[in-house]
Amino acid sequence: MAEKKLMKGNEALAEGAIRAGCRFFAGYPITPQNEIPEYMSWRLPQVGGAFVQAESEVSAINMVYGAGATGVRCMTSSSSPGMSLKQEGISYAAGADLPIFIGNVMRGGPGLGNIAGAQGDYWQATRGGGHGDYRCFVMAPNCVTELGNFPHKCFEVAFKYRLPSMVLADGILGQMMEPVEFKHPEIDPKTLTEPAWALGKCEGRDKRIVKSYDLKEGGVEIMVNERVQRYKAIEQSEVLYEEQMIEDADIVLVAYGISSRVCVAAMKQAREKGLKVGLLRPITLWPFPKARLIELSKRVKNFLVVEMSLGQMVEDVALAINGRANVHLHAKPGASVITADEVCKTMDKILKKEAKEYAAVK
């Protein structure tokens, strides 16, 4: 095992991306993710990469759109308000099948909101966020080590299926320091084969075009349907989740990112009191662990979704469970922190049948 190093989440994400072969970064300052561009600005030149502080998030995502079209592993990052600005470029990247990588260190919203950690961009991340029919591969780390290691998987999936990929973190994970362990061998981009669509040198081959449009009648329908096949393959093969104490659970907590850690503490407290509580943590938010939830709902009667938002992921849980079990929600918007005690109180209410279900058994 490599020596553990104390690192900030944001820095681990940046270093993890470089270790995964990232050689281009463009971004714009916004709290609480500033350590990512700051780190990239000195680290990328060390490995022969390029860093640009763009004039806006709009420009940054389009620089990445350009860099991504050359087949180079590239990245941009931002926090919630900045991510809204990037949606145009993400839609184009999805439409042009470009495997770019994006980090979102979420903060409170809507609007300027605040700068504390929040989970209010779940819909934006998993529903596309920009215009048109598309998906992004979205991973939700819950510790600094995962922030350092998920870029590897994001690039792998992005290049395999040709779609934008995203790490959806939050201000708490981004700002906190924790021991980090980089688990993947470092990738030297020179060892990667250039994709068959990469722009650059057309000498001796036909020219290539990277574009997201087709104005012929039915053209975009064909483009999107081809993409849907890849999305189906991703839903088939790339779902990731983690379970704890699920076997005998009467209540299953469903939470991602920082909220899942609060749930681990709540679960342990509840188990000490004799309550049978388990945890399902989606690691990929899209594709969502739908099949596993369906399976669990045949046995488990109560699910409690815990998230730092007004309740966004709960819709995916309710959709998967589809009336086979009760779905409850413990949600806190505005970047307010959820404590284990609060989650325990909600579980007590559920067991005493005092809690109102988000979606009840049909």
Partner 1 sequence: MQLLNKKPESLLDVKMHYCPGCGHGIIHRLVAEVMDELGIRGRTVGVAPVGCAVFADTYFNCDMIQGPHGRGPAEATGIKRAKPDTIVFSYQGDGDLASIGMAEIVHAAIRSENITVIFVNNAIYGMTGGQMAPTTLMGQKATTCVEGRNAKQAGYPIRMSEMLATIDGATYLERTTVHTAPGVVKTKMAIKKAFQNQIDGKGFSMVEILSMCPTNWGTRLDNPSEATKFVAEGMLPVFPLGVYKDACAADKK
Partner 2 sequence: MYQGIRISGFGGQGVISAGVLLAQAGMMEGKEVSFFPAYGAEMRGGTANCSVVVASDQVSTPIVTAPDTAIVLNEPSLAKFEPMVKPGGLLIVNTSLVNSKPTRKDIKILNVPCNEIASELGNPKIMNMVAMGAFAAATGAITVDAIAKALPKVYKKLKPEVIELNVKALKRGAEFKIS
Q: Which residues here bind partner 2, judged by CB under 8 A?
A: 4, 6, 31-32, 115, 143, 171-172, 175-179, 258, 261-262, 264-265, 268, 337, 339-340
* The entry of partner 1, partner 2, none that residue 207 binds, CB within 5 to 8 Å by partner kind: partner 1
Whole-number Å distance between alpha carbons of 37 and 41:
6
Out of 84, 114, 212, 244, name the contact with partner 1 by CB under 8 A: 212
Query: Is 223 a binder of partner 1 (CB under 8 A)?
Result: no
CB nearer to partner 1: pick between 213 and 339: 213
Per DSSP, the residues of 76-123 read EEE-HHHHHHHHHHHHHHHHTT---EEEEEEBS-STT--SSB--TTHH
Out of 208, 232, 273, 356, name the contact with partner 1 by CB under 8 A: 208
The pairing of strands 24-27 and 5-8 is unpaired
* The entry of partner 2, partner 1, none that residue 59 binds, CB within 5 to 8 Å by partner kind: partner 1
Out of 203, 217, 248, 354, name the contact with partner 1 by CB under 8 A: 203
Is the Cβ–Cβ distance between 151 and 73 less than 8 Å?
no
Of 32-40, 193-201, 282-290, 322-330, the segment contacting partner 1 by CB under 8 A is 193-201
Type and span of the H or E element at 4: none
Per-residue x/- track, 12-41, partner 1 (CB under 8 A): -----------xx-x---------------
CB nearer to partner 1: pick between 54 and 147: 54
CA dihedral 247, 248, 254, 256 (to 10 degrees): -50
Whole-number Å distance between alpha carbons of 79 and 88:
15
Is the Cβ–Cβ distance between 99 and 159 less than 8 Å?
yes
Per-residue x/- track, 69-108, partner 1 (CB under 8 A): xx-x-x-------------xx--x---x------------
Whole-number Å distance between alpha carbons of 237 and 234:
5
CA angle 105, 111, 116 (to 5 degrees): 40
User: Where along the sequence are the contacts to partner 1 (CB under 8 A)?
Assistant: 23-24, 26, 50, 52, 54-56, 58-60, 62-70, 72, 74, 88-89, 92, 96, 199-204, 207-213
